[in-house]
Chain A
Amino acid sequence: MIDLTELTIKDAARLLRLGSVSAADLVTAHVERIERLDRHVKAFLRFTPELWERQAEEADRKLRAGDAGPLTGIPMAVKDVLCVRGVETTAGSQILRGFKPPYTGTAVSRLFEAGALMLGVTNCDEFALGSSTENSGYFPTHNPWDVDRVPGGSSGGSAAAVAAGEAIFALGTDTGGSIRQPAALCGVVGMKPTYGRVSRYGLIAFASSLDQIGPFTRSVDDAALVLSVMAGNDPLDATSSERSGGEVLNNYGAGVKGMRLGVPREYYDVQGIEPGVKAAIDQAIKVLRDQGAEIVDVSLPHTDYGLAAYYIIAPAECSSNLARFDGVRYGMSEVDAPNITEAYMRTRRKGFGAEVRRRVMLGTYALSSGYYDAYYLKAQKVRTLIKRDFDQAFERCDAVISATSPTVAFPLGAKTQDPLSMYLCDVLTLGGNLAGLPGISVPCGMSEGLPVGLQVLGPQWGENLVLRVARAYEQASGVKAEVASFA
Chain B
Amino acid sequence: MLARLGLEPGEEEFYSEQLSSILEHIDRLQQLDTETIAPTAQVVEVSNPLREDVPRPGLTQEDALANAPAAVNGMFRVPSIQEET
Q: Which residues of A contact B (CB under 8 A)?
A: 98-100, 102, 194-196, 209, 235, 238-242, 302, 304-305, 307-309, 311-312, 319, 323, 326-333, 335-346, 348-349, 352, 357-358, 360-362, 364, 368, 374-375, 377-385, 387, 419-420, 423, 434-436, 460
Contacts and interface: CB of A to CB of B under 8 A. Distances in A.
Given A238-B46, A357-B5, A357-B7, A382 B34 contact: yes
Interface string B50-85: 010000000100011011111000001111111010
A337 B80 CA distance: 9
Nearest to A103: B59
Q: Of residues B4, B29, B37, which shows the largest number of chain A Cβ atoms within 10 Å of its Cβ? A: B4
B44 A348 contact: no
A329 B67 contact: yes
Given A235-B51, A384-B38, A387-B43, 4 more contacts: A329-B67, A340-B81, A374-B30, A375-B26
A436 B7 contact: no
Nearest to A379: B29
A198 to B, nearest CB: 12
Contacts of A309: 29
Nearest to A330: B67
A348 B38 contact: no
Contacts of A330: 67-69
Contacts of B70: 333, 335
Given A339-B79, A362-B19, A362-B22, A241 B44 contact: yes
Interface in B1-60: 2-7, 15, 18-19, 21-23, 25-30, 32, 34, 37-44, 46-47, 49, 51, 59
A383 B43 contact: yes
Given A308-B25, A375-B26, A377-B39, A343 B15 contact: no
A100 B27 CA distance: 41
- Which applies to chain B's interface (DSSP): helix, strand, loop or mixed? loop
Contacts of A332: 69
A340 B83 CA distance: 10
Contacts of B39: 377, 380-381, 383-384
Given A242-B47, A383-B39, A102 B66 contact: yes
Contacts of B37: 381-382, 384-385
A205 to B, nearest CB: 15
A310 B21 CA distance: 15
B29 A308 contact: yes
A362 to B, nearest CB: 6
A98 B32 contact: no
Nearest to A101: B67
Nearest to A327: B69
A335 B69 contact: yes
Contact of B5 (A360, A384, A420): A360
A336 B40 contact: no
Nearest to A377: B39
A209 B41 contact: yes
B19 A329 contact: no
Contacts of B25: 307-308, 311, 420
A241 B42 CA distance: 13
A319 B47 contact: no
A305 B68 contact: no
Contacts of A375: 26
B76 A328 contact: yes
A446 to B, nearest CB: 32
A330 B6 CA distance: 19
Contact of A348 (B2, B4, B21, B47): B4
Nearest to B49: A238
Nearest to B81: A340
Contacts of B76: 328-329
Contact of B4 (A195, A239, A341): A341
13 contacts: A195-B44, A209-B41, A308-B26, A335-B77, A335-B79, A340-B80, A348-B5, A357-B7, A358-B22, A362-B23, A378-B30, A380-B41, A423-B22
A339 to B, nearest CB: 5
B6 A346 contact: yes
B43 A420 contact: no
A310 B70 CA distance: 38
A346 B79 CA distance: 12
B51 to A, nearest CB: 7
A337 B79 contact: yes
B3 A360 contact: yes
Contacts of B6: 344-346, 348-349
Given A335-B70, A385-B34, A349 B7 contact: yes
A419 B32 contact: no
A352 B7 CA distance: 11
B29 A339 contact: no
Q: Which of B18, B78, B84 has the most CB of A within 10 A?
A: B78
